[in-house]
Structure 1
Amino acid sequence: MISSWSLSRNSRSNGDHVSYTSIRRLGAGSFGEVWLEFDDALGRQCATKYLNAAGLTPGADVHAEAQAMVIAQHPNVVAVYSADEVRGAPVIRMEYLPNGSVEDKYHGAAVAVGDAVRLIEEACRGVEHLHACGLLHRDIKPANLMLDENGVAKVSDFGLSCQRGATEGVPPWNYMVHLPPEAVGTAGGITTPVGDVYGLGITAFRLLNGDSMFKQSFVSTAELLAAIAAGTYPVRNRWLPQIHPALRKTIRKALNVKPGERYQSAADFRHALEKARPLVSWAQGDHAHSWDGFSPRNGTSWRAECLPSRGADRFTLERRLSGRNWRNVGSDSKVFASSGEALNYAEQVLGRLAATGS
């Protein structure tokens, strides 16, 4: 149900009256709530974030998040419209992106390799700009990458952001699974740009592999933190078959336990991703051991699968040129004595096609 309400506020020059139409709640959490509203004066929709004043760090600037968004204006950063206070609580109005976040779209499923690489490259561009402005984001994850009408990723949620070198007084870190190893046992969380690079790397790992390979069971928070510090979480040698070796190497470097051995900037990580882009982008097919591929360079479609066949396991590869019928690629279609051998071979073929296109 749509309801209209009016908010009176004081202006430095005179009293004014601003009216918004509240449409529906978009989300909620410990930070407060986000609502879709219509700005009656400007005739546009906006996403309005009502912050929980009780959750703010004592003495912190209530408009710090909105100020950071203003500083960070960029095509790959969610735009802020205004900051205000309603009944003593901070309010941020920003651009509304109806496609939601990367997490909303994929729900933890593995993303087609080419799409995942593109999304992380776009996120890197946004984070590059933040760092150039002297800001740290400190909370890069799929839920904080919004999608515009063209599917372009925009970095959002600056609730943990701060000026570089000024992490005192920022809200406490609470998303443990994205904590960089160097931050384990400290109170500050991410304090350097390479911490944000780690956040980009772990987000890339999740998008490529899906959250089913990312999640692990731990007896306690202490056990989780010990695994993060040791570099055993996430497990960096477990990958879906469709992710080719060059891309695996790139992500592992972004996730290096030693900050000095990671990419030293979001720009460096983006450049490495650009070099590792797949020439054939693979995605999970209809079942666990099937894959669909596409080459944007020439419009060729591919499909591959491993299936039991008369007591053995067959790997089949097919190709369809633009406007043609599917054809079996006999030189790459083979029978194996076990499913393990077939899957190992499938990984080699998918990797070769991703790297060379043929």
Structure 2
Amino acid sequence: MSFKAGDNIYKFTLIKKLGGNFGEVWHAKDNSINKEIALKILEPAFEPIAKLLDEARIGNKFNHRNLLPIHYADVTTVGGKTYTLISQEYYPNGDVTNQLNTHNFLPLPQVMNVLQDILFGLEYLHNSGFYHNDIKPGNILMDGQQTAVLADYGIAGFSPSVSPVTPKNSYIVHRAPETNGSAAKISIHSDIFQVGCTAFRLLNGVSNLKNEFIALGPSDYESKKANGKIPDRKSYEPFVPKKLKTIINKALNVNPSDRFSSALEMRRKLEKLHFPGYWTSDSKSNLQGVGKKYFYQFEVLPLPGDLFNFNATKTNKSSGKTTRIGLFTSKKISEKEMNKIKTQFFEWVIENAS
């Protein structure tokens, strides 16, 4: 493909390229109704036209605030080449990765909202007999009210009886262990696994699993995943709450029957959680705790003899006054002790911030 901004394709004018893996996705204008849309342009070289149109047929069936609406699809010829065009809702905020902080993770309150939103969408999807099969941060769009919208039905599966079906394709980084190999089947449980992978990446660093896949290669990556070692349940950042880790780990069980039985069940577990504080990064890219009234900071000072001072403080958002938190301030401690008190401070802010 060699399209550029300003090109006219059928009734659409291209404005800005947004991305795309098996084709291109553009911010475009539908000139027939004077509306800005997202336009997916697909070449039949990837799949037969009938299969390419499946995504539009699927998306056009849905009417749910957490599922991407697809408006229109057609086939046209440009420069002697045939293209499938899929017109869908345009979200200026883009996908959820645009909201990551400077440490490459999404703050806890936003993660909780995003997970509940996409589980709402999945519940509707599953009740309609469909499996999404491509749940990942890049397929979660954010609307103007910060509602998460699940997008891209290109490799979705359909099962009117809600029984497992053979997938068309798969996103290797997130696919569940049982969806690999000649007997691969997707189901409600494999979608739940992908939600778990998505949650793990949003909380711990969105590049986490992709980097591991690149480092290991497909074979070793799949082997470790089948043994429950990917995602690594021991590698959560210390500012991820234990109760939330328990829910995510259940979604990531190797055995499908040990995961949540439905999107509804997982969403209800998440709805019961409440955390007064969370961690993100400040304007200087330092980790910062956030409560309703205070910001929370810490400082690690290296000393001779492999010792450290650990200083914890809180700053009043209104007055700007900073005070020391004695419970988490220690002098001349070992690295092991320092890491322990830092973890305790992370956990304390999440559970007790004011």
Normalised-by-shorter TM-score class: 0.7 to 0.9
What's the counterpart of residue 13 of structure 1?
Answer: none
1:218 Cα shift? 4.6
What's the counterpart of residue 76 of structure 2?
Answer: 86
Counterparts in 2 of 1:184 and 1:329: CA distance versus 1, 3 Å: same
Does residue 119 in structure 1 map to residue 110 in structure 2?
Answer: no
Does residue 48 in structure 1 map to residue 39 in structure 2?
Answer: yes
Task: Measure, in 1, the Cα distance between the counterparts of 2:62 and 2:152.
Answer: 12
Task: Measure, in 1, the Cα distance between the counterparts of 2:91 and 2:267.
Answer: 24
Task: Measure, in 2, the Cα distance between the counterparts of 1:334 and 1:287.
Answer: 24
Alignment of 1:314-353 (within 5 A): 314-324=309-319, 325-335=321-331, 337-353=333-349
Does residue 202 in structure 1 map to residue 194 in structure 2?
Answer: no
Task: Measure, in 2, the Cα distance between the counterparts of 1:99 and 1:59.
Answer: 30
Does residue 25 in structure 1 map to residue 17 in structure 2?
Answer: yes
Task: Measure, in 1, the Cα distance between the counterparts of 2:58 and 2:259.
Answer: 26
Task: Measure, in 2, the Cα distance between the counterparts of 1:336 and 1:300.
Answer: 31
Aligned match for 1:38, one of 26, 29, 38: 29
What's the counterpart of residue 240 of structure 1?
Answer: 237
Higher mean alpha-carbon deviation, 19-28 vs 195-204, is at 19-28
What's the counterpart of residue 308 of structure 1?
Answer: 301
Does residue 99 in structure 1 map to residue 81 in structure 2?
Answer: no
- Other structure's SS at 1:3 match: coil
1:187 Cα shift? 5.3
Alignment of 1:1-358 (within 5 A): 3=6, 5=8, 7=10, 19-29=11-21, 31-56=22-47, 60-87=50-77, 88-106=82-100, 109-164=104-159, 165=163, 167-168=165-166, 171-173=168-170, 175-186=171-182, 188=184, 191-211=186-206, 213-214=208-209, 215-216=211-212, 218-284=215-281, 291-295=287-291, 299-311=292-304, 312-324=307-319, 325-335=321-331, 337-357=333-353
Runs (4+) of structure 1 exceeding 6 A deviation are none
Amino acid in structure 2 at the alignment position of 1:235:
D
1:159 Cα shift? 0.4
Counterparts in 2 of 1:187 and 1:60: CA distance versus 1, 3 Å: farther
Q: TM-score, normalised to structure 1's length?
A: 0.86
1:157 Cα shift? 0.7
1:355 Cα shift? 2.6
1:262 Cα shift? 1.0
1:104 Cα shift? 4.0
Amino acid in structure 2 at the alignment position of 1:20:
F
Q: Deviations over 1:264-291 (max 9, x none)?
A: 1112222222223422011245789x53
Task: Measure, in 2, the Cα distance between the counterparts of 1:71 and 1:5.
Answer: 28
1:349 Cα shift? 2.4
- Other structure's SS at 2:313 match: strand
Task: Measure, in 2, the Cα distance between the counterparts of 1:212 and 1:80.
Answer: 29
Q: Deviations over 1:189-215 (max 9, x none)?
A: 5x1111111101100000100045433
CA contact (8 A) 1:71 1:133 kept: no
Task: Measure, in 2, the Cα distance between the counterparts of 1:59 and 1:81.
Answer: 18
CA contact (8 A) 1:140 1:200 kept: yes
- Other structure's SS at 2:231 match: coil
Counterparts in 2 of 1:70 and 1:59: CA distance versus 1, 3 Å: closer
What is the CA RMSD across the aligned residues, in angstroms? 2.5
Amino acid in structure 2 at the alignment position of 1:82:
Y
CA contact (8 A) 2:313 2:322 kept: yes
1:4 Cα shift? 5.9
Counterparts in 2 of 1:220 and 1:319: CA distance versus 1, 3 Å: closer
Amino acid in structure 1 at the alignment position of 2:235:
R
Counterparts in 2 of 1:147 and 1:59: CA distance versus 1, 3 Å: closer
Task: Measure, in 1, the Cα distance between the counterparts of 2:15 and 2:207.
Answer: 34
1:139 Cα shift? 0.4
Percent of aligned pairs with the same amino acid: 27
CA contact (8 A) 1:62 1:90 kept: yes
CA contact (8 A) 1:304 1:315 kept: no
- Other structure's SS at 2:124 match: helix
Task: Number of aligned residue pairs: give it.
Answer: 338
1:340 Cα shift? 2.7
Q: Deviations over 1:295-314 (max 9, x none)?
A: 3xxx2223232412544323
